[in-house]
Amino acid sequence: MKRNLIYLVMLIMLFGCVATPQIYTINDVSRKHLILLNHNRTNKNIFSISIQIEGNLDGDASIIIKDGINFKKTINISNQNDKIKLIINEDWYNSKCIIEYLPVKVTEGNLHITYKFYEL
């Protein structure tokens, strides 16, 4: 009985950390976007975020990731005619994430943002 209880607790802990991916698509890559990513479950014990950005652009762009408090990271994308694939993993303790997309001479392309918040 005690062993079954231990297994049950371990399973709950394991599956409690499994994150559900969410997707945001930027269709008009020629203009600025301010994107608010929200954790879709709870805001209890969030400890990490994973952001994957895929697509292509015909110019340069900057992507700024912020938590709205004190974290800020800027990623510059330089004249990409090939596929873009960025993977960003950060320690994260907020149920929201702000992404600013700032194009520079971009006229066409597409970007898909897949993100996951991890919680205990």
Torsion of CA 8, 11, 13, 18, to 10 degrees: -150
Task: Give the pair of three-digit tokens for residue 84.
Answer: 């873009």
Place of tokens 């907020």: 94
Residue 96's alpha-carbon distances to 17, 29, 65, 82, in angstroms, are 17, 23, 11, 30
**What 3-state class would DSSP assign to 4?**
helix
Which residues form the domain of 98? 2-119
Q: What share of the chain in percent tops pLDDT 70?
A: 80
Average pLDDT of 28-39?
Answer: 94
Q: How confident is the prediction for the chain on average, in pLDDT? A: 85
pLDDT band, very low/low/confident/very high, at 51 (cuts 50, 70, 90) = very high
Write the CATH number for 94: 2.60.120
For residue 16, pLDDT beyond 70: no
pLDDT score, position 80: 61
The total of structural domains in the chain comes to 1
pTM for this one?
Answer: 0.79
Calculate Rg over the CA atoms of the chain: 17
